[in-house]
């Protein structure tokens, strides 16, 4: 089980933290967003439901936009656009 963070195309990144529980997903998400530039998109894949609520609040606080989400059978694929 390893965390994966890579650039999938220009302006698009993917962070896969499946298998990890709190606090890993939210902390890795914060680190990933810090690496990215404004307007770039992060596809976040995680399977720890508890982290979702914190990630949503973090996005709101830091002006990052959660614009697409797919939640299925305990796995979550969220798309976040980095704000200012």
- 22 as an active site residue: the answer is yes
How far, in Å, CA of 3 to CA of 63, rounded?
25
Of 12, 43, 45, 49, which lies in the binding site for other proteins, with binding defined by CB under 8 A? 49
Which residue, chain included where needed, has tokens 């059978």? Answer: 73
| Size of site (CB under 8 A) for other proteins | 46
| DSSP structure class, residue 79 | E
Specify whether the CB–CB gap between 76 and 47 falls below 8 A.
yes
Q: If binding is defined by CB under 8 A, does position 21 make contact with other proteins? A: yes
User: What is the contact surface with other proteins in residues (CB under 8 A)?
Assistant: 1-6, 19-24, 26-28, 30-32, 35, 47-50, 52-54, 56-63, 65-75, 77
Residue numbers annotated as active site: 22
């Amino acid at each position: 089980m390893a965390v994966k963070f890579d650039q999938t195309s220009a302006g698009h990144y993917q962070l896969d933290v499946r298998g990890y529980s709190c606090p890993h997903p939210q902390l890795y998400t914060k680190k990933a967003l810090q690496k990215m530039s404004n307007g770039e998109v992060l596809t976040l894949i995680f399977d720890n439901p508890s982290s979702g609520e914190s990630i949503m609040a973090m996005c709101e606080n830091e002006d990052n936009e959660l614009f697409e989400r797919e939640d299925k059978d305990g796995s979550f694929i969220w798309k976040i656009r980095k704000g200012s």
